[in-house]
Amino acid sequence: MRRLSRGAIAAGLVWMAGAGAASAAPALWEVRDKDSVVYLFGSMHVLRPDVRWRTRAFDRAYAAAGRVWFETRADLPPDQVKGLVDRYGVDPDRSLTQKLSPTGLATLRPVLDRDGVPLERVERLRPWAAAMMLSVAPMAREGGEVASGVDAATTRRARTAEKPIETFETFEQQLRIFADLPEQAELDYLDDVAREQLSPPRDGVALERAWLKGDTGRLGARLADRMRTDRPALYDALLRRRNLAWADRLDAEMRQGKGTDLVIVGALHMAGDEGLPALMKARGYAVRRIQ
């Protein structure tokens, strides 16, 4: 459990990007009614320190915002994180190998061996938690870190400026999204991560660059759409239901008040006809992409 951190959970809630030192323009939308503006920015939670993702358009949106919204807090105390991960990510009754099929175990073992992780270290993890641990490992090897991700960096900036911060979910609610999955969906998720670790997609670098270039069409078609087709339970839990809840929250906020807010959530929450920009447009707001 020492290797399963807040960063691993956050990284797992979206596909990660870790491109090198390159200027970029990740996607940014403006949602507007007669007296309210919400900027929507699709983030990457884990990045290498040399990734330059901030632009003039983002900085203008940040400066105009009276509040900044995130999925959840990026600065929870480590002991609180550990307690919650232990509560929702550990199974004291059934081991991981008891849940895995022979084929699933055969797929997992070489990934653990490559990273120098004894099977005993993950035996009591639930499948989703083991998948999280594995998914963050490649980024860590490339120098990726939560502290350099969009969420953590912008949280520090807002705290320093004493700019109000709002969140859509608690960290416990995020963990329960995974803890409430059917066991087979957890096992499918772990198997997908392990297979991707063994055979990284040839267009992996292109996908990493897609976020930096603001190529939401590629992200949606390659990732969100594939998840919706191949892993509908995961798609429903991780993206669709959360997007709907967040859109309802933003709708209520815009109807009740006036002003400008900046919303920073994982990039996949912006993709497709069930992404936040599309959902806000369906609710009658003027939505335009500004970056």
What confidence score (pLDDT) does residue 2 get?
A: 41
Name residues whose C-beta falls within 8 Å of residue 155's C-beta, 6 or more positions apart in sequence. Answer: 68, 70, 73, 74, 75, 165
What confidence score (pLDDT) does residue 10 get?
A: 44
Q: pLDDT-based confidence at 172, cuts 50/70/90?
A: very high
Q: Is residue 1 part of a domain?
A: no
Q: Is residue 19 part of a domain?
A: yes
What confidence score (pLDDT) does residue 137 get?
A: 74
* Dihedrals phi, psi of 124, to nearest 5 degrees: -95, 5
Q: Is residue 106 part of a domain?
A: yes
Could you tell me if 231 and 189 are in contact, meaning their C-beta atoms sit under 8 angstroms apart? yes
The letter for the amino acid at 119 is L
What is the pLDDT averaged over residues 26-31?
A: 96
Alpha carbons 141 and 125: distance in angstroms, whole number: 22
Six-digit token pair at 223? 């990732």
Q: pLDDT-based confidence at 47, cuts 50/70/90?
A: confident
Alpha carbons 269 and 165: distance in angstroms, whole number: 19
Give the side-chain half-sphere CA count within 13 A for 218.
15
What confidence score (pLDDT) does residue 7 get?
A: 44
Interval 138-161: pLDDT, tens: 777 777 788 888 999 999 999 999
* Number of folded domains that form the chain: 1
- Above 90 in pLDDT, residue 219? no
Q: Is residue 104 part of a domain?
A: yes
Q: Is residue 157 part of a domain?
A: yes
Mean pLDDT of the chain: 86
Q: Which domain holds residue 42?
A: 6-289
Describe the strand order of the beta sheet including 28-32 as a list of residue ranges: 165-167, 67-70, 259-266, 36-43, 28-32, 286-289
Interval 69-87: pLDDT, tens: 999 987 888 899 899 999 9
